[in-house]
Structure 1
Amino acid sequence: MDINYIILAHKNPAQVERLVHTLSTEGTTFYIHIDKNTEQEPFERRLQAVKNCRFIETREKGTWGDVGIVQATIHALRQIVADQRSGYCVLLSGQDYPLKSNQHIAQYLTQNQGASFMDASALPNLHWDHGGLDRIEHYKFNLSEGRQDYVVVPPVLSKDFSRNWIYHVYNIKKLLQRRINIKVLLKKRSFPHYIRPVGGSQWWAIPVETAAQVLTFLEQHTDYLLYHRYTLLPDEIALQSIIRQLLHADGNELVQPTVTYINWERPGVTLPVTFDRNDLKELLNQPEDKLFARKFDAETDATILDLLDRRIVTTA
């Protein structure tokens, strides 16, 4: 089984190097996108001896909640298809790490060959604020490139605007102070009519054949990514909606849960949880279909990665 790992990274070159070396086998190739706001040379230097590693030439800014993250992923998919790769495309961040051995990962994907592993539910999503409809019906504007420094404003002629117009006018003043063009607010914002909106986790694994179909869809619908310039967190909506459309909606056996474990439920901490040595039991108790976990920060606690390495070796 060939596995093509897409790694979106913006920090910790040593941790990305460790991730690559841990996952590297004869059948793996790595497609690494480094945030345009991050110096790439430290990553290249650490991985220069890795033959099965490619850096994506067209780089995007990975501004939190912005479409650049989606575009970076698409650049990697294009490179994988251009390289005529086979097998699976697995999307990871530079702060992910495997929970299972490479043998188990390859075996699991082989046994379920043809399936796409992706969490995505039709909007409105009961687990999201406002069902997630504000993400696709309102306009998101970045105030800066800082994390979560944005405003979401509904179209000015909508009921959503009139219900809380004082707050929205306040946000519009912020945009005008930064000379941000707000003319789009005069238009109703509707999800493209030719596709059904779904949303879910950013992290997925799909067959290369499905990746090629995604690229064809984007070539045929050039307005689709333009629409998502104003979507809040399009990395949880844009590609998920396409993949669901390609695989013929809900209930299709070719759509299975994501293979990446993330803890969004621990009280009193910044979410998602950044795992450390105290979380080993939680990570080891994940079922066989959870092949990876996020997130980790080796600069804060590398011991958890050491402990997982020992476990992976013993279960290989």
Structure 2
Amino acid sequence: MKKAYLIMAHKNPRQLQRLVARLNDGHSGFFIHIDIKVDIAPFKEALKEFGNAICFIKRFDSKWGSYGTIEPFIEGLREVRKSAVGYERIMLISGQDYPIKSNEEMDEFFRSSPHSVFLNYFPIPNHQKWPGRDRGGLYRVDKYYFGSKKGELFRSRALNFLATYLPFLRRKMPNGMKPYTGQTWWTLDDYAMNYILDYHDQHPEYFRFHRHTFVADELYVQMIVGNSKDQRLLNSIENSERRFTIWHDERDAHPKFLRAEDIDAIMASDDFFARKFDDNIDSEIFDLIDERILLKNTAEAERVMV
């Protein structure tokens, strides 16, 4: 099966090289975004062995929480659509993900699954996840967010305060949409990819709205899908991103860094990928995943042949 991986990275070139090496099955493509704030040269050096399988896409400032996290995957989807390869699945992952299913297992799953899109999405407000003053998460869409720097936070607070008393300043949902959110990472088929890109192109006001949305990458695709009436799209979706993560608290902004101690939980998961990892924190976990999951079948086959 031809798969396109959209990979968003900003650190650890050696770790990114290992990720691509495990996914490189000879008929997959890698559309890689390197944050514009970092030197791209070490990444190009680390990935040069993969030749034409690698496409470095246009670079953006993709700092966490900002709309700059939307632009890379929209640009990546455009590059996938322009490609003559005809990818059957498009998977958004980060440079700190790692597969916990082999390429063969993923291909077999996709061939047999009744679903071809894997996306986590749910409506807000969700008062169980964001109780009290968070108002079920509505602050993500009805409050302005300009960034996390001191001056940006002051600007956000000032404008949100004024909007309390001046109705014309209040944020309004574009196109009468209802708010949805979920996990950033997803798998699409080509129909869903085209649906999302067409909506983005036909509704520039939708992108403008998310320029001031907090953690917009967790809403952008989810709101397009959640407000869709397209039954072909909706029937293709399994409401799961299939990414294994461990959260100390589900309201945390970032999941736990996975370590060797987590291998049993990883092995018990049905997900495609686990996240997130840092080889500067624990590199042993990669060896354990390779040995016990990704290379296990290969090693068993070699023993049988001998």
Q: TM-score range by the shorter chain?
A: 0.7 to 0.9
Q: Is the 8 A contact 1:125 1:199 kept in 2?
A: no
1:231 paired with 2:206, answer no
1:136 to 141, 145, 148: 141
Q: Number of paired residues?
A: 286
Other-structure match for 2:123: 122
The within-5 A match list for 1:70-219 is 70-84=70-84, 85-112=86-113, 115-126=116-127, 127-128=129-130, 129-144=134-149, 150=153, 152-153=156-157, 155-156=160-161, 158=163, 161=164, 187-219=169-201
Other-structure match for 2:275: 294
Cα offset, 1:121, TM superposition: 0.2
Under a length normalisation based on structure 2, what TM-score does the superposition of the two structures give? 0.86
1:303 paired with 2:284, answer yes
Residue 303 to residue 89, structure 1, CA distance change in 2 (3 Å): same
- Identity fraction in percent: 30
Q: Is the 8 A contact 1:139 1:155 kept in 2?
A: yes
2:266 to 280, 283, 286: 283
Q: What secondary structure does 1:298 align onto?
A: coil
Cα offset, 1:110, TM superposition: 2.0
One-letter amino acid of the structure 2 residue matched with residue 307 of structure 1: L
Cα offset, 1:108, TM superposition: 1.2
One-letter amino acid of the structure 2 residue matched with residue 46 of structure 1: A
Residue 253 to residue 264, structure 1, CA distance change in 2 (3 Å): farther
Residue 79 to residue 237, structure 1, CA distance change in 2 (3 Å): same
One-letter amino acid of the structure 2 residue matched with residue 217 of structure 1: Y
Q: Is the 8 A contact 1:155 1:189 kept in 2?
A: no
Cα offset, 1:60, TM superposition: 0.7
Structure-1 separation of matches of 2:296 and 2:4: 25
1:242 paired with 2:187, answer no
Cα offset, 1:7, TM superposition: 0.4
What do the CA deviations read for 1:249-281 (whole angstroms, capped 9, x no partner)?
8x94422111111212369x9941100111101
Structure-2 separation of matches of 1:229 and 1:266: 28
Cα offset, 1:114, TM superposition: 5.1
Residue 240 to residue 64, structure 1, CA distance change in 2 (3 Å): same
Q: Is the 8 A contact 1:247 1:255 kept in 2?
A: no
Q: CA RMSD in A?
A: 2.6
Q: Is the 8 A contact 1:199 1:241 kept in 2?
A: yes
Structure-1 separation of matches of 2:40 and 2:76: 16
One-letter amino acid of the structure 1 residue matched with residue 144 of structure 2: Y
Q: Which runs of 5+ in 2 are unaligned?
A: 299-306
**Higher helix fraction: Structure 1 or Structure 2?**
2
Cα offset, 1:299, TM superposition: 1.2
Q: What secondary structure does 2:295 align onto?
A: helix
Under a length normalisation based on structure 1, what TM-score does the superposition of the two structures give? 0.83
Q: What secondary structure does 1:49 align onto?
A: helix
Moved more, 239-248 or 89-98: 239-248
Q: Is the 8 A contact 1:2 1:27 kept in 2?
A: yes
Q: Which runs of 5+ in 1 are unaligned?
A: 163-183
Q: Is the 8 A contact 1:6 1:76 kept in 2?
A: yes
Structure-2 separation of matches of 1:247 and 1:306: 45
